[in-house]
Amino acid sequence: MKTYFRLLSFAKPIGKFAIPYIFTTLLAIIFGTLNFTLLIPLLKTLFSTEAAKAVSKPDFVFSGKYFVSIFDYYFNEAIITYGKYGALKIVTLIIVCSAFLSNLFRYLSQRFMEELRIHTMQNLRTTVFNNVMNMNIGFFNNERKGDIISKVASDVQVVQFTVTSTLQVIFRDPLQITAFFIVLFSISTKLTLFSILVVPVSGLIISTLVKKLKKKARSAQQSYANMISFLDESLSGIKIINAFNAIPFMKEKFRKENATFSKYSYSMIRRQQLASPISEFLGIATVGGILLYGGHMIFLGEGTLTPEAFITYLAIFSQVTRPAKSISEAFTNINQGLAAGERVLELVDAKPQIVDKPTATTANLFNNKIELKNVEFAYSEKLILNNVSFEINKGETVALVGPSGSGKTTICDLLPRFYDIKGGNILFDGTDIRDLKLDSIRGQIGLVPQESILFNDSIFNNIAFGIPDATMEEVIEAAKIANAHNFIMETENGYETNIGDRGAKLSGGQRQRLCIARAVLGNPPIMLLDEATSALDTESEKLVQDALNRLMQNRTSLVIAHRLSTIQNADKIIVLEKGKVIEQGSHQELLLKEGLYHKLINMQSFGAEA
Ligand SMILES: Nc1ncnc2c1ncn2[C@@H]1O[C@H](COP(=O)(O)OP(=O)(O)OP(=O)(O)O)[C@@H](O)[C@H]1O
């Protein structure tokens, strides 16, 4: 129930939709019930052989019986005044008008409900996406991408079609049933009491049926998420899958997950679908019982039940099953909706671990140095960085070198606070970065990752990423500095060319140069650079290297260096091993020490050029 109300809280402002909905629904129910009530006089005129006699007007009492008898009274009057056929015309006209109004209001109420539903889901989807974007990088190491995608895309959809659609069931259908029962009671109390006895029995049967649905729904949704993850991985890794002849293997893996999903869906749907025929059957069985009981009452001349009232009674009672059925259906579906809702709310409730302190201040423009002091860091339990200390002075290029897994990338991720450190300090111009606003630090740091990260968009938008007011002149200028302008001009639509998924339509060197152009345009005072290890051909390599050198000019840079030339030109080299700084100094100083650096140089482990 808590989940349900939380999901509804996304309907804000609910009054905007709920008030017109309640109003139109009430009118639809009133006119809908009126239609059936009018059947009594209609049948009476058609079948009665006696001439109408004047009767006295019934006294007002607030009850269903009064309304039935007042109809009777006016109808009788109409027969006396206009004759039987004339009265029939009037009643038919009223029935048609009332049916028109009832359907009109039903349509309007449906429209308000749809607006509420779509509005709620729009809110929910935006909230989930925004919250996911706010999460710190570490969150994505633990959550599977496909899981997040399926929560935002599919689970929200399930919530939409189950949770919010129960809203109308909660309000409209019980009200409709009540209205019908008021009329039923006024026609025959005895008969109605008899039929009510059946309701708890069918309720019990249905609730046993749906009890297990929620667990099954959760397993089905999880299995669906696995499929999405798998699809995502397969599409990203399609080249490797082909190269390793792994297509049959992947197909088989997908087939298995797909079969699991189908199994859960099937067993869930089997139960779900049972609810409707069972409730319909119970409804008809009840009508059968009423038919016998009511017929018995008429034949014996017991009570006041007339044949026309009895037919009307049966007509109305057969209508009761419709809202009753939709209530029972809603209850079977809601479990599936709640399971999906819980999965979605997990994402809404996830709290980013890295947020601004309330006392955080805005960092001034970088003007002195970044200092790592006895930094300790662990992704989980195992310490990855241990007592790391070094300084990056303004204007310097500092190179990080060390064997694979020594912690170079980790150090680069700590400066923009993608992760928080466990011990020590990282000082930005003397202030701990945890005391500064995240935006104000990240705004001063540019990032060129090893793997070019580009979006399925135009070249212009990829370069101007994150700078919405960038002009074409500025973008061209940045592209020229990054040696990208010439190749861009050779593409089909120049800066408007779409580069495909993750830049698939470009070469590796071109992708790197676009990423460099993006960093140039951002013009941050500090650059974090992860040099690509993949060897490019000499021509492309030269263009990229040249672009990187220009990017680093007049800037403070921390570079994960793989090229000997970058390392030799660095002002300072930090040599890492197993998360510790083993040596630091210039190229010449470190060579003289004949330590790890010397060994690494001799082993030529700095990539293609070394
Ligand atoms: N997201 C993560 N979760 C847990 N452990 C991680 C994560 N990322 C890296 N590690 C571990 O941290 C250690 C340092 O990794 P890091 O990526 O910083 O090394 P690196 O020096 O950049 O290596 P390479 O040169 O191969 O890129 C490794 O032992 C790695 O297994």
For 202-219, what is each residue's pLDDT tens digit? 667 766 766 667 777 788
For the chain, residues with pLDDT lower than 70 are: 48-54, 62-65, 67-68, 164, 198-200, 202-203, 206-207, 209-212, 302-303, 532-537, 604-610
Ligand 1 atom 4, closest CA: 379
User: Locate tokens 């960093």: which residue?
Assistant: 519
Task: Please tell me the distance from the alpha carbon of residue 548 to that of residue 553, in angstroms, as a whole number.
Answer: 9
Q: What are phi and psi of 575, to 5 degrees?
A: -100, 120
Pocket test for ligand 1, best of 409, 533, 534 (most atoms within 8 A of CB): 409
Ligand 1 centroid to Cα of residue 405, in Å, is 5
Ligand 1 centroid to Cα of residue 236, in Å, is 22
Pocket test for ligand 1, best of 380, 408, 577 (most atoms within 8 A of CB): 408
Contact residues of ligand 1, CB 6 A cut-off = 141, 379, 384, 402, 404-410
- Reported ipTM exceeds the 0.90 cut: yes
Task: Please tell me the distance from the alpha carbon of residue 125 to that of residue 101, in angstroms, as a whole number.
Answer: 36
Q: What is the pLDDT of residue 606?
A: 53
Ligand 1, atom nearest to 400 Cα? 21
HSE, CB side, 13 Å, CA atoms: give it for residue 502: 7
Long-range contacts of 154-157 (CB under 8 A, 24+ apart): 154/221, 154/224, 154/225, 154/228, 154/340, 155/221, 155/340, 155/341, 155/343, 155/344, 156/121, 156/124, 156/125, 156/128, 156/340, 156/344, 157/121
Ligand 1 centroid to Cα of residue 378, in Å, is 10
Ligand 1 atom 30, closest CA: 405
Ligand 1 atom 5, closest CA: 379
User: Locate tokens 């000499």: which residue?
Assistant: 538
Task: Please tell me the distance from the alpha carbon of residue 360 to that of residue 362, in angstroms, as a whole number.
Answer: 7
Task: Please tell me the distance from the alpha carbon of residue 540 to that of residue 4, in angstroms, as a whole number.
Answer: 58
Ligand 1 atom 1, closest CA: 141
The alpha helices in 300-390, defined as continuous H runs, are: 307-349
Ligand 1 atom 7, closest CA: 379
Give the domain ranges of the chain: 2-349, 357-444+563-610
Ligand 1 centroid to Cα of residue 570, in Å, is 23
Q: What is the pLDDT of residue 206?
A: 66
Give the predicted TM-score (pTM) of the model: 0.75
Class of the domain covering 357-444+563-610: alpha beta
For 78-101, what is each residue's pLDDT tens digit? 888 888 788 888 888 888 898 899
Asked if the domains 2-349 and 357-444+563-610 are classified in one and the same CATH topology, the answer is no
User: 2-349 falls under which CATH superfamily?
Assistant: ABC transporter type 1, transmembrane domain (1.20.1560.10)
Q: What is the pLDDT of residue 7?
A: 82
Ligand 1 atom 18, closest CA: 407
Pocket test for ligand 1, best of 137, 404, 410 (most atoms within 8 A of CB): 410
Q: Which residues pair with residue 398 across a beta bridge?
A: 558, 572
Average pLDDT value over all residues in the chain:
83
Ligand 1, atom nearest to 579 Cα? 14
Ligand 1 centroid to Cα of residue 408, in Å, is 8
Q: What is the pLDDT of residue 608?
A: 38
Ligand 1 centroid to Cα of residue 409, in Å, is 7
User: Locate tokens 């370069």: which residue?
Assistant: 463
For 489-530, what is each residue's pLDDT tens digit? 988 888 998 888 777 788 888 888 888 898 888 888 999 988
